[in-house]
Each structure stands twice: as structure tokens, then as C-alpha cells.
Amino acid sequence: MTPPRPQPKFRITDRWGGGLLCVLLLLLSQGATLAILLRAFPLAKTSAVAEGQKPTAPKKVETVAARNDKNPVEEPVALAGADLKQAVGACIVVGLPGTKLDQRTSAALREGEITGVILMGANLKSDGQIRQLTADIRAAANEGGKPAPLICIDQEGGSVQRIKMGLPSAEEMARTPEKVRDYGAEVGKKLAELGINVNFAPVLDLSMPGSKVLAGRTFSADPVEAATLGGDFARGLKEAGVLAIGKHFPGHGLVKDDTHTQIAVSNAGKNELNRHLRAFKLAASSLDGMMLSHIIYTGWDKDLPASLSPKLSAIATEMVPNGITFTDAADMQALQKYGTDAERASLALGNGTNVFLTIKPLSTLGKNFTARVAEQISARKFDAGKLRASATAVGRIRASLGTSTENPIP
């Protein structure tokens, strides 16, 4: 007798199986989705929401695109909000209104809205007053838990020495080249004693006959000699712990025009451009940074001066990979065509120059200056990576200067 074949547990002819299949086919034919099925036959809750409580809505990650639907970008809001403002603040140096630290600047140092100050002749009366001023500047940064601020000055010698030391000019120093490093050390020691940690010197421009703005301020018309003597001066500064910032990259000696009072353009060819650039290249290993000029060099960038040019800021940064780059003072006439102070700052920082420098006191720059610069950078859709890199570089330099509470050399 043949044993009966085993019957399948489920057959389409079964009443329930066939009925269910028909229902499924009907739903699918009507375009039903899995979501409909799940709503019709809800599964057991798997979340840890207590009975009677409303589930918490998932947090939304806001982006710049969400803020600006007309011009969406993919950059996260981390660099369009508080973090962007903080990064901008790490890259701004301003002037002071008098011989004492004003409340506005003190608060900005404490809150990280600026990274330092530049001292001009009007801010300096006596050694004792300068020491008190720089101590107050450091204390303000320390109150906010910030590292030592950049306290900057132009102390070249000759006609450009904010603190009167009777220094010879660079042109005069060059006549006794064996003493140039000693001159740098003398300047460095004096600045360190007064609590100043950044000097916008040496001048590495090549001598330009007939240039009033460079008269006496250059070491030589030869790039090798200019680099050698400028490097010696820088090493003297650094012996005292003062940062040496070479200027005016990539060479003010290419024009006679003064960027303080007018737009200056150099149409020099590549060979001449590179000849002036060579002084900066050769001296770079002795420097802690570069100050970029406000001159337009059409051989590199036909539209923007060096201080605002992405190409030239990249070249300068490559030369001082462990240092930082500054704009020349952004108050000069040569930059006025590029908009407001905040707009010029956004161009400089957005295009890669590490520090925007202005001799204007913060109180004259309008309310919320740092925030307005950040808004401009966001609106112009600049590469946030450049600003991050600048803020990191400046932070590294500030950390190397010691803590905000350290007293200057006695």
C-alpha cells in the first residue's frame, strides 16, 4: 500500500491562505506601500518611550542651506554660527584708542572676538605706561581663558620706530652688516621687556630709487643681501622671544607709489617678480610670518592686491608653513575700493591670509564687527577650510608665546 504523500502546511487553495493572498494582490494592485500595511497592522513598539509620553522628535542638524534657501550650500552651520565667529576672532588684530586698554577691546580679548592689538605711537608714552598697558592686554585674554594675545608693533629702526630707541635705519645698518643681528637683538630685548611679542620687521623689500615710502627702510637692492641682513635682524629678534614678521610680501620695491595714499599696481614680468620674491624665499626660514602688501601684481593676480589675493596668500603661507601671514594695515587708501572694513576683512580671511590687521580701534569699526565679518564670509561662500587653517595657525603661534599671565622679561 502506497503511503500517503505529506501535505504542505500551507496551500493557496486553503481558505485563509487564498484569502490573504487575494488581499495582498489587491493592495499591491492599488499601489499600496509598506507604510500602509504597517499602519494597518502596527508592530509592537520598540522604543523606550514610557506609556503616556509623547516621543521626542529627532534633532535636526541645521545647515547653512537651511538658513539660506535661495543660495544653498553644503557647508555645515558649525562655521556659519558661533564657531565661525570664533574662528574669525582668532584672526583679527585691531588698534587701540589711547594709552590705556579700553573696555570694548578688553571685552573682545576676553571673549575671543580679536586675537590681539597693534600699538602705534599714540598708544605709547613711557616704559612704565607700556608695561602696564601690555599687562592689562594679557590679563584680559587670561580672564577669558585665552592664550597670550598678539601684541604687535612696527619697530624697524630709522624713520619707523614707534618706541624711540635711536636705532639706525636698515639702509644704515647694512653699512655694518656684522652688527645687524645685534641690532635685532637690541630691539627684541627692549620689546620683550615691555611685553610686546610681535614685530613687523624686517623689511625685505628691495631698494627702489625714488620711492618715498621705502626711503632708508631697505637693506639692499640685491635679493641675496637683503635676505641675509633681514634674516640676521630676524634672528636677533627671536633670541629675545619676539616674533619676526617679514614685509611687504612679495615686494614693495616694485612700485614707487605709496599704498597709504593710493592704489599701487605692478605690471612687472615674471622674472622681475621672482627676483623680488627671492628675498622673501631666502629669508623665510628665519621668519615667523609674512606681512602682505596692498599692491596689485598683475603677473600673479590682475584683480586683487596681495593682501586679499588667494594665490599670493597661498605662496606666502607655503614659505612660512609654521608661521602666520598678516595683511598690511587695512586702513590704507589702496584697499578702500574693496568695501567696508568688514568686507575687506572677509576678503582677506576668506582668501587665506591668516590675520586681518587694522590700526583702527574696535570702537570705530561699528557694533559686532567680528560677527559681521563672519556673516560676510558665510554670504560669500568662502572655503571654510582656509579659515579653520588660519585659526589653527594663529592659535599655535599664540600658544608658543606662553600663557597670558606670564610677565615680560624684567
Q: Tell me the three state secondary structure of residue 94.
A: strand
pTM, rounded to two decimals: 0.80
pLDDT at residue 10 greater than cutoff 50: no
Give the model's confidence band at 402: pLDDT under 50 very low, under 70 low, under 90 confident, else very high.
confident
Give the model's confidence band at 406: pLDDT under 50 very low, under 70 low, under 90 confident, else very high.
low
pLDDT at residue 46 greater than cutoff 60: no
Is the pLDDT higher at 290 or at 383? Answer: 290
pLDDT at residue 322 greater than cutoff 90: yes
Give the model's confidence band at 384: pLDDT under 50 very low, under 70 low, under 90 confident, else very high.
confident
The pLDDT of 87-91, averaged and rounded, is: 97
The pLDDT of 193-212, averaged and rounded, is: 95
Residues in the chain: 410
pLDDT per residue as tens digits for the range 169-183: 999 999 999 999 999
- Alpha carbon 191 to its chain centroid, in Å, reads 24
The three grid cell numbers given for residue 8, joined into one nine-digit string = 504542505
Q: What CA–CA distance (Å, rounded) separates 369 from 360?
A: 12
Nearest Cα neighbor of 398 from 119, 199, 116 is 116
Specify the amino acid at residue 32.
A
pLDDT per residue as tens digits for the range 359-375: 999 999 999 999 999 99
Q: What is the pLDDT of residue 403?
A: 60
Q: What CA–CA distance (Å, rounded) separates 340 from 358?
A: 12
The pLDDT of 333-359, averaged and rounded, is: 97
Pairing of strands 116-118, 296-297: unpaired
As a whole number, the mean pLDDT across the chain is: 84
Q: What CA–CA distance (Å, rounded) separates 157 from 313?
A: 27
Q: What is the pLDDT of residue 4?
A: 47
Q: Which residues are catalytic?
A: 260, 328
DSSP secondary-structure letter at 179?
G
pLDDT at residue 157 greater than cutoff 50: yes
Task: Give the CB-side neighbour count of residue 395, counting CA atoms within 13 A.
Answer: 14
Domain boundaries, the chain: 77-400
Q: What is the pLDDT of residue 364?
A: 96
Kind plus residue range of the DSSP H or E element containing 313? helix 310-319
Q: Which fold has domain 77-400?
A: TIM Barrel (3.20.20)
Q: What is the pLDDT of residue 71?
A: 35
Is the pLDDT higher at 54 or at 360? Answer: 360
Q: What is the pLDDT of residue 175?
A: 98
The pLDDT of 3-8, averaged and rounded, is: 47
Pairing of strands 160-161, 155-157: antiparallel
Locate the DSSP E strands across 234-372.
243-249, 265-266, 289-292, 296-297, 324-327, 356-361
